[in-house]
A and B are shown apart, each in its own frame.
Chain A
Amino acid sequence: MIKLTIDGKSVEVSKGTTVLAAAKKLGIKIPAVCAHAGIDTFSACRLCTVEIRKKGWTDDYSKMIASCAFPAEDEMQVFTASEGVIKIRKTLIDLLMARCPDSEVVKGWALEYGLLKTSYENRKPADKCILCATCTRVCEKVGTCAISTNQRGTTKRVGIPFGEATDCIGCLSCALNCPTGHIKYTDDGQTRKIWNKTFEMKKCTECGKAHVTVDQVAYYVKKHSMPEEHFLICDDCKQKRTADTFASISS
């Protein structure tokens, strides 16, 4: 076990635990946008930056680290809201405001740190993407790897390779996990559109509700060797059917 102190409170965690997870154990909240327990660590947003002082370091020396990736060490001292940390966080949010001037989510973070407007020039044209890559990592976890970050530097963006969403199955995981609502999709109950691709929906054979895309079913059947019958009816109708089965068993 590793024993460290965070903002003066001591906590014990197992080896390999990140500073962010250790802080969470103490109930100390560190803002972290791109950190997600279900996907690989990426350390893109840097909002979880904290100040640390390791064992043996002199009192006048400290370091800034990304707490989502940095493993906790024995006798480490962590400061989650020191002057330096707040200064870095404010600068990052200031930059994000210039990057995504229309994002209500970013504006919310800014207000928390008393920032009303950016001190930089707004990006033009701007969208709501903060390049946290949550979408691409989620897509990777689903196993489809349909989207990725394209290009580098100031032109870096999230998207589909070569303008075609060949591998996308239309599961919407990217859009549902996007922290700023940048990824848009439409679903009119007949077709679903995302990443410039239109998906045919599988309709429930009992109530007619479109519940999954045809591509999703093909993907799950192939990946998990599941019977296609599992996907014929929607979850509501499955539940009704379960009730009917209960009734026939108990009567």
Chain B
Amino acid sequence: MKKLLAVTPSKCIDCKKCQVACSFKHHESFEPERARIKVQTKGEEDGIPVVCLQCEEAACLSVCPTGALQPHNAEGVIELDEEKCIRCRACVAACPFGNITYENTSNKVQKCDLCKGEPMCAVFCPTGAIAYIDVPDEGHNV
């Protein structure tokens, strides 16, 4: 069964807990600016979390010269193999949504891997704006 992050912008209160949880999961430190998910502030207590959409026809995947970005696994996730990445950042330039980024502190490209099956952003989201849901095999949503 494919699972995806479902984002409901109207429920987001711009608390950025998802960013904190994401940075702790991947960098073992509370540095929200290094997170793979980003909340775009729209107003007071109003934000929109933006995270990798795991596109079906992914631009990042098609430009990767080394195969570091691997085609969707059984869970429908495009994973980045850091060992194969040569930091050419073609994927960063190619992603039309800005959801794959170059992280300057660790000098690595990073993208959402859905925490290998337990996305921390969804676990820590207090309002349910980010939820990890099952999707039918045919369906694809954001």
Given A171-B89, A173-B88, A246-B50, does the pair A37, B65 have CB atoms closer than 8 Å?
A: no
Identify the closest chain B residue to A250 (Cβ): B9
User: Do the beta carbons of A230 and B94 come within 8 Å of each other?
Assistant: yes
Interface residue SS majority, chain B: loop
Interface membership of A187, Cβ < 8 A: no
Which of A141, A176, A212, A235 is the one whose CB lies under 8 Å from B101?
A: A235
Identify the closest chain A residue to B96 (Cβ): A230
- A220–B94 Cα gap in the complex (Å)? 8
Q: Would you list which residues of chain A between 116 and 143 have a CB under 8 Å from chain B?
A: 138, 141-143
User: Do the beta carbons of A239 and B99 come within 8 Å of each other?
Assistant: yes
Q: Would you list which residues of chain B between 29 and 74 have a CB under 8 Å from chain A?
A: 38, 40, 42, 48, 50, 59, 62-63, 65-68
Q: How many A-B residue pairs have CB under 8 A?
A: 103
User: Do the beta carbons of A246 and B142 come within 8 Å of each other?
Assistant: yes
Contacts of B42 in A (CB 8 A): 243, 247
Identify the closest chain A residue to B101 (Cβ): A235
- A237–B99 Cα gap in the complex (Å)? 11
- A54–B10 Cα gap in the complex (Å)? 65
Q: Would you list which residues of chain B between 85 and 122 have a CB under 8 Å from chain A?
A: 85-90, 92-101, 107
Beyond contacts A216-B93, A238-B96: 15 other A-B pairs, Cβ-Cβ < 8 A, are A37-B84, A38-B84, A141-B88, A142-B88, A142-B90, A171-B88, A172-B87, A173-B88, A238-B97, A239-B99, A242-B97, A243-B42, A247-B42, A247-B48, A251-B10
